[in-house]
Structure 1
């Protein structure tokens, strides 16, 4: 269910009431955003289904994006994959995030100690987008890397972001999640509320089998400063090697020290 939600939640909120909102531009960006880390290429039909747009509209958008270099058309299959113009944009942003440079050695040390995966993420609509990731010796089973997305509402790192976000941002995100699945919403809301309380009382949010039943994780959100948005760092891995007790008793103090060092640092977006 949450895998489906992850695709649907990345649709931008309607802004028809805003005369400055350019719908055609939003749809074009929506097409680019529908590609995921595991996607090699997509057809117009697949893009239309993910974006909930008419296929004729998608055909015009993909043709335009191809001419601009944001998509590449594979003539033998009729599919599209992301082009080098997207790579240039992403690389430019990542290169300017000083917080990644500061965080990486600290994260790698934590990954080596925990044996799990340690990732730095920021919100992208209703997903958390990994912008840095380090693996410990036992983390091969969890192959999330830079550019990976996980759901905002059910992951430890997403709940950490919700815990530190402004009240307006949090309520807006929660309302969007509710609109996607009214049936599952009460359980999802309880998880979010528990995560916010854990972040306040324990210093971290936890997800023990909530995102994936055999994955444990915890996270801490922080304000990196320098005009950057709220970010969060998580530690996660298979529940068989990262028990709840180990994470809370051994890993949590080290995670909190990592975050404290980043908050004290002078990070910026140059």
Structure 2
């Protein structure tokens, strides 16, 4: 079950400006994923934690507005064309994508590993740029893919460069949501902070998926926002030693170059 309002680090009960109905509508839209493009009301209720009756009213409204499309054959919904311009506009406004893309493309081809740029969305990282090498074997991910912050190299890099207050809030959410897994997750995050301080990058060696190895590096933008990069491939192509001695240092260098470009001359 996913409760997006909690992931936003906002307590609606303490914020009189917070419009819960709008938040619930976005909960519905955020429930769709690239691997699950069609969802029914029951599935949406399970993912959002909202009552089935509430979900039914929200999907009806979002369909009328064009943000969802109903598929009678499957009795399910998919994202509608109304959602497309919002995503395109958001991506177009991210100048960091234009700065990072050429460097990401060069690194991907040189290492034969996929390289991505992501932003934090609650306890997830969302890809806003993705480059795969021109090889038959590559990670099957794309712009819009959402990965767990705590288990991925990209998410750990973001965590390691974020502020102490943000890390504490993330820790509380993770401990509450995954109490059984929290000790192992906490150890991985603490290790990521130490790696970032010592090496300038982080790693995920089978922690997210047993068959995937990756390095991560964060980019601190002039306005205070933090985004993160990763460079990864199937584990049989990218062993631990290569991640630690080649991919990680090269990705960290790319991150520092992007930071310098974002700051501009002087």
TM-score range, shorter chain: over 0.9
Deviation at 1:222, TM superposition (A): 1.3
Of residues 255, 259, 265, the one that matches 2:251 is 255
Secondary structure in 2 matching 1:41 = coil
Q: Does 1:12 align with 2:20?
A: no
Moved over 6 A (4+): none
Structure 1 match to 2:80: 83
Q: Does 1:118 align with 2:115?
A: yes
Say what the alpha-carbon RMSD is for the aligned residues: 1.6
Structure 2 match to 1:242: 238
Deviation at 1:21, TM superposition (A): 1.2
Structure 1 match to 2:178: 181
Structure with higher RCO (Cα < 8 A, 6+ apart): 1
Deviation at 1:260, TM superposition (A): 1.6
Distance 1:149 1:107 in 2: 19
Deviation at 1:248, TM superposition (A): 2.1
Q: Does 1:98 align with 2:98?
A: no
Distance 1:180 1:139 in 2: 37
Structure 1 match to 2:190: 193
CA deviations on 1:139-192 (whole Å, 9 max, x unpaired) are 734111100011001111111111011111111111111111111110110000
Distance 2:43 2:263 in 1: 40
Q: Scaled by the length of structure 1, what TM-score is found?
A: 0.92
Structure 2 match to 1:264: 260
Conserved in 2, the CA contact under 8 Å of 1:214 and 1:239?
yes
Conserved in 2, the CA contact under 8 Å of 1:160 and 1:219?
yes
Of residues 50, 70, 73, the one that matches 1:73 is 70
Distance 1:151 1:36 in 2: 13
Distance 2:263 2:102 in 1: 15
Of residues 146, 149, 153, the one that matches 2:146 is 149
| Structure 1: tracts of 5 or more residues without a match | 1-6
Change in Cα spacing, 1:139 to 1:197, as seen in structure 2 (3 Å) is farther
Structure 1 match to 2:217: 220
| Structure 2: tracts of 5 or more residues without a match | none
Deviation at 1:239, TM superposition (A): 1.2
